[in-house]
């Protein structure tokens, strides 16, 4: 009986890590699944910082809009999961993203440049779906790669 319970716990951990990976892959090109496969209806996203310079909290519909705007403004998106750790209903994923900016995004002018940055996404799960994420990413590296820092990148 103990072996069965241990196997079930490992299986659940694998499921949350896999879901977190697929959720982050929504930012990339040619994603086979949509947000509804991973996100609860009451999903909340916390961004720190957001591209506009502050912090933000987005509902599911606002997050969908942000994702659509990102896809319109960036191409050749590559996402690499560097590390994942799960603790109960939480999964923390460290990632590296590379993308070419081909359009305006949240007030940032199109540059035609490719940028690479890292970040950490921590997700909380209920009933197998993400209900809340906290995202902290390296905005300076993002802007520097686009040539949009005060020193010209």
> From first to last of its 153 residues, what are the pLDDT tens digits of the chain?
554 444 445 444 457 999 999 899 999 865 656 788 889 999 999 988 777 777 889 999 999 998 999 999 999 999 999 999 999 999 999 999 999 999 999 889 999 999 999 999 999 999 999 999 999 999 999 999 999 988 655
Per-residue tokens: 95:
């990632």
pTM of the model: 0.83
pLDDT score at 6: 47
Q: Alpha-carbon distance 151 to 148, whole Å?
A: 8
pLDDT score at 15: 75
* CB-CB neighbours of 24 under 10 Å: 23
Q: Alpha-carbon distance 145 to 55, whole Å?
A: 21
Class of domain 2-145: alpha beta
pLDDT score at 49: 76
Q: Alpha-carbon distance 128 to 150, whole Å?
A: 43
pLDDT score at 20: 93
Q: Alpha-carbon distance 42 to 148, whole Å?
A: 35
């Amino acid at each position: 009986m103990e072996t069965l319970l241990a196997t079930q716990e490992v299986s659940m951990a694998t499921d949350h890590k896999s879901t977190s990976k697929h959720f982050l892959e929504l930012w990339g090109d040619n994603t086979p699944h949509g947000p509804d496969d991973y996100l609860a209806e009451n999903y909340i996203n916390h961004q720190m910082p957001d591209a506009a310079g502050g912090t933000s909290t987005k509902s599911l519909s606002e997050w969908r809009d942000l994702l659509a705007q990102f896809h319109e403004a960036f191409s050749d998106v590559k996402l690499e999961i560097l590390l994942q750790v799960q603790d109960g209903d939480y999964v923390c994923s460290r990632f590296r993203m590379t993308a070419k900016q081909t359009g305006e995004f949240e007030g940032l002018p199109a540059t035609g440049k490719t940028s690479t940055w890292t970040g950490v996404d921590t997700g909380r799960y209920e009933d197998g779906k993400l209900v809340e994420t906290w995202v902290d990413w390296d905005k300076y590296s993002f802007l520097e790669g686009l040539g949009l820092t005060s020193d010209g990148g």
